[in-house]
Amino acid sequence: MVTFTLNGKDIAFDGDPDTPLLWVIRDEAGLTGTKYGCGIAQCGACTVHLDGMPRRSCVTPVSTVEGSDVVTIEGVSGAEAAAVQAAWIGLDVPQCGYCQSGQIMSAVALLQLVPKPSDADIDNAMAGNICRCATYVRIRRAIHDAAATLEG
């Protein structure tokens, strides 16, 4: 039995402890905002926050999150999340939209650590999130916009 919190709710999972967190979140908890894209930590579509830090859930056995707090796109909150999502909406960042939960989770984590990121900071933090629609121009702009909002 693995216990952890998912978006603040207590979770007890008694299935295969090797199950990647991604599939527990999607198949068992029914939260489908977190996406499968590659299964090998190459694309970032499955990014969640594990104890406040970004984590690729596709390569995270659920057994390793015992006692942790897991936050998904459905539960992400706070000033950074609000600013990022508002900026995303303001710039119409998404195209197909499939990768955007992961992009947003990475962007929120970046802003929580670096309130006013440079272009290089954005490159370094976001290089693990693939967008096949190549919405990168707007992702970059949206992160700068969100930083400006947070600065007030």
**Would you count residue 146 as binding other proteins (CB under 8 A)?**
no
Mapped onto helix, strand or coil, the DSSP state of residue 147 is helix
Within 4-43, which residues bind other proteins (CB under 8 A)?
Answer: 7, 9-16, 18-20, 23, 26-43
Q: Residue 66, interface with other proteins (CB under 8 A)?
A: no
Q: According to CB under 8 A, which one of 109, 145, 146, 147 is a site residue for other proteins?
A: 109
Interface residue with other proteins among 66, 78, 134, 148 (CB under 8 A) is: 134
DSSP for 42-69 reads: SS-TTEEEETTEEEEGGG-BGGGGTT-E
Cβ–Cβ contacts within 10 Å for residue 82, how many?
15
Judge residue 70's burial from the number of C-beta atoms within 10 Å of its C-beta, 0-12 exposed, 13-18 middle, 19 or more buried: buried
Q: Is 98 in the site for other proteins (CB under 8 A)?
A: yes
Q: Considering only residues 80, 85, 146, 147, which one is a binding residue for other proteins as defined by CB under 8 A?
A: 85
